[in-house]
């Protein structure tokens, strides 16, 4: 599947991303980015903030849909490893997540 080429899954890279990456926050999302050889993305929702797995999975599915439907906006040079983390303490709507993601990707260098 072509989408799996864009998903970040290497534990060492994820750990380094959260340690050294630059962070930007536009509620309800935080974007963490660092230079990387390919464009890769990670979607995360805190179990502490959203205790129900159904709600966490729904938010992740929405972030996936927004990212892959607007891939041309997000795949820009230079290439980056990106983590999108949901930081709100309540489930948010698709429209809010989309607005936040497009804002974050427009302000990142």
Q: Which residue has the tokens 């489930």?
A: 91
Tell me how many domains the chain contains: 1
Which distant-in-sequence residues (6+ apart) come within 8 Å of 44 by Cβ? Answer: 83, 84, 85, 86
Please state, in angstroms and rounded to a whole number, the distance separating the CA atoms of residues 16 and 2.
Answer: 25
Residue 109 is predicted with a pLDDT of 61
Does the pLDDT of residue 1 top 60, yes or no?
Answer: no
- pLDDT one-digit tens code per residue, 25-82: 999 999 999 999 988 999 999 999 999 999 999 999 999 999 988 888 777 778 899 9
The CATH number of residue 11's host domain is 3.30.230.10
What's the pLDDT band for 2 if we cut at 50, 70, 90?
A: low
Q: Which residue has the tokens 């340690």?
A: 19
User: Residue 91's domain spans which residues?
Assistant: 2-107
Measure Cα distances from 91 to 34, 44, 63, 82, 95 in Å.
27, 13, 12, 22, 12
User: Is the distance from CB of 87 to CB of 46 less than 8 angstroms?
Assistant: yes
pTM here is 0.88
């Amino acid at each position: 599947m072509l989408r799996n080429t864009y998903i970040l899954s290497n534990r060492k890279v994820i750990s380094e991303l959260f340690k050294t990456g630059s962070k930007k926050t536009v509620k309800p999302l935080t974007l963490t980015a660092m230079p990387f050889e390919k464009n890769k993305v990670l979607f995360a929702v805190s179990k502490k903030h959203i205790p129900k797995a159904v709600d966490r999975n729904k938010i992740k599915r929405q972030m996936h849909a927004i990212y892959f439907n607007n891939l041309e906006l997000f795949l820009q040079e230079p290439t980056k490893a990106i983590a999108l983390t949901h930081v709100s303490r309540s489930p948010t709507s698709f429209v809010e997540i989309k607005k936040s993601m497009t804002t974050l990707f427009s302000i990142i260098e």
